Amino acid sequence: MQKIHGIHATIDRSLCVGSGPCFVLAPQAFGLDQSMKAEVLEPEEESEERLLAAAQECPTQAIYLWRNGDSLYP
């Protein structure tokens, strides 16, 4: 069942070190690409709580979340 929270995510790949909290905490929203950097998959498939936890656990704060043009994180 798809979540309807309207959260969009981006990753600043210049900051990403591929350490993993995002794709461990929200595996449907984030993955690891061939460059060993995180990539956005399907954020709508994860709960709002998991998305926020994944962004907060990023050691380099490379994940940005927003809804309706308003920043949710950071």
Q: Is the pLDDT of residue 1 over 70?
A: no
CATH of segment(s) 8-68: 3.30.70.20
* Phi, psi dihedral angles at 53 (to 5 degrees): -60, -45
Q: How far is CA 10 from CA 1, 31, 49, 58, in A?
A: 23, 12, 17, 13
Question: Mean pLDDT across the stretch 37-47?
Answer: 96
Does the pLDDT at position 65 exceed 60?
Answer: yes
pLDDT band, residue 13 (cuts 50/70/90) = very high
Assessment of whether the complete model's pTM goes beyond 0.85: yes
CA gap 73, 64 in Å, rounded:
6
- Mean pLDDT, rounded, of the chain: 94
Q: Percentage of the chain with pLDDT > 70?
A: 96
For the chain, give every domain's residue range. Answer: 8-68
